[in-house]
Amino acid sequence: MAGHSKWANIKRQKAVVDAKKGKTFTQLSRAIIVAVRNGIPDPAGNFQLRTAIEKAKAAGIPNDNIERAIAKGAGTFASDANFESIRYEGYGPGGVAILIEAFTDNRNRTAADLRAAFSKNGGNLGETGCVSWMFSQKGVCTITGVTEEEKLLEASLEGGAESYEMAETDIAEVITEISNLETLSQTLKNQGFVVTEMEMRWIPDNHVEVTESEQARSLLKLIDTLEGLDDVQNVTANFEMAEQLMVAMA
């Protein structure tokens, strides 16, 4: 079990990379469709769908829109659009690996938009497989209420976790295999922790250190541009950046 390793820096980095200003209604609705297609249309038996619905409601998406998205995912809503999930890969400034998960009804449009975003910000869109080997897809539970790290360690082991990252406050992220995410979440809840989010996340196996301000500026602008595209659901990159530089760029 790994604790404390780089949690604070990861969270600051994630705050920028995840574009905390919020996803668009289109992106959140498509996340619901993807969740249904990956499981079942019943949120009680589909944790990915439950999480997607919670995020949509928090963003103010009307219930009618949520129900429509569920119906589209289940194939019970008449629609001309034929959506598919596609993963794109590329390199940002300085050779930073970038993994993009998209959900689109037009591959040509999505690829063109991504290629333009990369080329305008010092990167390039690559072939399938060019960077995905540098990442592993894991299940992540974000929890609060951590007052004793020993208790967190015991609960994580009991729930089948692989590792955890802990902040100096009462917040932690516990990582496991995707197939074990629901079990881990329930175990943590039973041990008194508050699970604020469950998600599937691509986690880099290695990192590229970004130290130059110009590179940092171009990289963050590229990721921000990618996340702003409606077809894009998630963007993951394998860079690390010092706190001072992150603050300066923010």
Confidence of residue 12 (pLDDT cuts 50, 70, 90): very low
Check whether 152 has a pLDDT greater than 70: yes
Residue 86 has a pLDDT of 92
Output the pLDDT for position 136: 92
In this prediction, residue 80 carries a pLDDT of: 55
Residue 145 has pLDDT above 90, yes or no: no
Domains of the chain, first to last: 12-21+84-133+205-249 (3.30.70.980), 25-74 (1.10.10.200), 135-203 (3.30.70.980)
DSSP assignment string, the chain:
---SSSHHHHHHHHHHHTTTT---HHHHHHHHHHHHHHS-S-GGG-HHHHHHHHHHHHTT--HHHHHHHHHHHHT-S--S---EEEEEEEE-GGG-EEEEEEEES-HHHHHHHHHHHHHHTT-EE--TTSSGGGEEEEEEEEEE----HHHHHHHHHHTT-SEEEE-SSS-EEEEE-GGGHHHHHHHHHHTT-EEEEEEEEEEESS-EEE--HHHHHHHHHHHHHHHTSTTEEEEEE-EEE-HHHHHHH-
